[in-house]
Structure 1
């Protein structure tokens, strides 16, 4: 979380939700204008009536390219709902890409959580001023338009409300295609960060599940918790002029026009984009699928920091039906109330429970790891097979396409995927972490589907992540010893605090 606070600037955040940052090829490079999205997608939908097309995006670059292709081909709408974005190179380029989409007539709606926003009001208002861009802020009690005094008052009088965040991550294009999963919008989620990158997972969907995702987006967009940015920044709004707005737009376009702002691998990825995306579409699995989502506000709040939600209930119900094994990948592992009892009951019935999470050496969130560290011995004693992801796993050579260029000084690799596989038949890919915050406070989304072929394919990837060359076994070793001494000392501090309900 601390790392995120340093990264997030809403100027990028607002745009990255929709398009994860790729400059389009020039007219000379790309040829004729891109055909509308419906031309590629409609025949596939017609060939699979009532079914949802699904493709799991394992590689960061592949997930990036999928978003870029969809943004380039959207002709009507881009609806995005996200929690975290970054102000890195890819993010700035993405800002310009979304602006261009609006300039060619695409209606863009961006809904972003308030907690981690830190952006100049001028940038927010300039983007929102565009007739085809609408920006709303979810639960604005801490940052946008909130004074320090008001922020403190909100914490003191509404601690639960302040902690209730919108953790959803969806990007929806023309109401026909969508992407959801664990990836936020920054270099490190797409394998382009030189120092720290994530092993993450998204799922591309088209068909009925997209309609469900659009309905969820509409509920949030129309909720009283979603406030137009102009209403929150009334004073700065008065100072906005056409000249100031034009200056922001010109700055974005100028940045995107400079060749030095594009890494060679990004250029090559753009040139390969049409061929690679066509291949992705051909490999889709078509099945009945369910888009799981919480309601705005998650729950009534009558139970304080507890209460659950629709996503929690759906996943608990699915896990309870397990007959042979449950395989989970989650960056954070802090059992919510009732979680340990649920897994104990499964193990007593003969169900194997396996979980891979981050090690201390790999994690980017010491607060969350401190909650896991307090529970680790009880989880192992209950019979749960746990593996802790290494910061230098062998698997990164396969997942990072640019690895040969980075092998002399490869980045730290950490787990960020949120995935559940039941009996090798049922698959969930989404935003839900195995912790109290996802269970009770944050709103979450994801896709739940029963398809043995797809589920087993993903489970095999998780099993590979659990191998000794990729993860440590805390039942036979103490993985904490591989972390730096300073990090171990900070962990002791966080373990001394009663943070579990908000982890």
Structure 2
């Protein structure tokens, strides 16, 4: 009765275990390759994963199931999509009314960027709001005092949603206010990304005991074996009483505040404080995520969406996207803005790994005579990502794009100004991960006032930059160019 198993073992031994394992690896890779191809994802991503599968047997399969974007995506987001649609439909009638009023009254102001406005309205239902007061906050030194002051004024609720909420001095100061407000009866809700944040059980218990509700966005139990860290909630937003909102690139951590002792690396970042109707869209985004994370049904109430008392007029749209979105709205907004620019484009981004659409839009703009300036890190927190980014510089320089490497520290700001009047500030990097994998949110403003402020900050940052020149860039050692090119092969996965 044991003859067949024994014969099988003898046959496998004769064949050689190495040969057998190699054969199994290629069969397994072929099966997974069929799955990847059938997903009809971006061709560059498909090729990136196929390269991994066959260059790194077994390991490539493991990497795909750990990092593959579409793995179990439908299952993960089925409930969220249903709830998002339900909540947004309740809110949609109000959004449409606000937008119609804005379009009728401000045709001249939006005429220059009409294609972008219409695209966001028609394809993504992104509200255009008028009555907003916007304040530019440069670095944590300006953001955190403004945030704390707003939190102290809260009367009904405080909502926070952050990619990185790190135990630190600034987090302790903010949480002390949150706890006090919770004790006073203000409802405090916090969504933190479980991959990006590092909050201990003790820290979370202290929040819960004070009455602060804090929930992770997709709980990760075994990070190494979980593909959920691909679906990062990369947003950084705060809503106070539905009236005041904060959005931008600054997380909750001491590293973002250069006035804090012990910070050796200067951190350059940008945030906005908004009061007015634009905060309503930020509130809606928070509510759909909270309902999903908490398994609740917080509805559209007057307390969450109060009438605005703001009289200042700053035309604003809150643009958002994520792996649960039908369209890559954030990427499309960048593409439309770049394509529509006629005079100048000023971009600051810490991670520059553009897809083909953004890359070609930038080259087309520069070839057309638009002055395109790009600030990227000279010092980066990711050598691989920085190397992949460098592989794009030569073709951009050849098209006439001006590239500047920030030298003062690490530039983490995510901003763009086109023609001095179209402004974008938010959480989205100009990279494939932000376009396709992360939950992101940007504020888009049609404002010469904010445009002038952002351009002034941009020009000040240029003083701390080193310009890249085409001739010098081409003269780099071949081994450096090769390393950059190799990293670029994996850019869809970074």
Give the alignment's TM-score, normalised by structure 2: 0.64
| 1:288 partner SS | strand
- State the Cα distance separating 1:480 from its structure 2 match: 13
Structure 1 residue 99: Cα displacement:
1.3
**Pair 1:109-2:189 in alignment:** yes
SS of match in other structure, 2:165? coil
Alpha carbons of 1:441 and 1:147: their partners in 2 closer, same or farther (altered >3 Å)? closer
Contact 2:166 2:197 (8 Å CA) reproduced: no
Q: Is the 8 A contact 2:137 2:143 kept in 1?
A: yes
Is contact 1:51–1:208 with CA below 8 Å preserved after alignment? yes
Distance 1:50 1:102 in 2: 32
2:161 to 81, 84, 104: 81
| Equivalence map 1:318-337=2 (5 Å) | 318-337=337-356
2:37 is aligned to none
Over 3 Å counting, the alpha-carbon distance change for 1:424 and 1:337 in structure 2 is same
Q: How does 1:8-87 map to 2 (within 5 A)?
A: 50-87=130-167
Cα distance in 2 between the residues matched to 1:434 and 1:189: 20
Equivalent in the alignment of 1:417: 413
- Aligned-pair distance for 1:97? 2.4
Say whether the 8 Å CA contact 1:380–1:475 is kept in structure 2. Answer: yes
Q: Deviations over 1:49-93 (max 9, x none)?
A: 951111111243221110110111111110000001222222223
Shift of 1:454: 1.8
Q: 1:215 to 1:228 in 2, by over 3 A?
A: closer
- After superposition, give the CA deviation of every residue in 1:154-184 in whole Å (9 maximum; x if it has no partner): 34xxxxx541211110011111101111111
Tell me if the contact between 1:137 and 1:228 (Cα under 8 Å) persists in the aligned partners.
no
**Contact 1:337 1:436 (C-alpha < 8 Å) held by counterparts:** no
Distance 2:259 2:168 in 1: 10
**Residues of 2 paired with 1:294 and 1:184: CA distance?**
19
Q: What does residue 251 of structure 2 align with?
A: 184
Paired position in structure 1 for 2:97: none
Structure 1 match to 2:392: 375
- Please point out which of 200, 207, 217 is paired with 1:120: 200
Q: Give the structure 1 partner of residue 212 of structure 2.
A: 133
CA contact (8 A) 1:331 1:417 kept: yes
2:468: which partner in 1?
474
Q: CA deviation at 1:125?
A: 4.1
Q: Return the structure number with greater helix share.
A: 2
**TM-score, L = length of structure 1:** 0.63
Among 207, 210, 213, which residue is 2:282 paired with? 213
Please tell me whether the aligned partners of residues 163 and 502 of structure 1 are also in contact (alpha carbons under 8 angstroms).
Answer: no
Checking the alignment, whether the CA contact within 8 Å between 2:148 and 2:174 is kept in structure 1 is: no
Are the aligned partners of 1:109 and 1:135 in contact in 2 as well (CA < 8 Å)? yes
2: distance between equivalents of 1:112 and 1:473? 37
Deviation at 1:117, TM superposition (A): 3.8
| 1:204 CA drift (Å) | 0.7
CA distance in 2, matches of 1:195, 1:228: 42
Aligned residues: 347
Q: Is the 8 A contact 1:298 1:441 kept in 2?
A: no
1:363: which partner in 2?
Answer: 380
Cα distance in structure 2, aligned partners of 1:103 and 1:371: 49
Q: Give 1 or 2 for the bigger CA radius of gyration.
A: 2
Instruction: State whether residues 87 and 186 of structure 1, in contact with CA within 8 Å, keep that contact through their aligned partners in structure 2.
Output: yes
**Kindly tell me: are residues 135 and 60 of structure 1, through their superposed partners in 2, closer, same or farther at Cα, counting changes over 3 Å?**
closer
Q: C-alpha separation between the residues in 1 aligned to 2:488 and 2:406?
A: 25
CA distance in structure 2 between the partners assigned to 1:124 and 1:494 by the alignment:
43
Deviation for aligned residue 1:134: 1.8
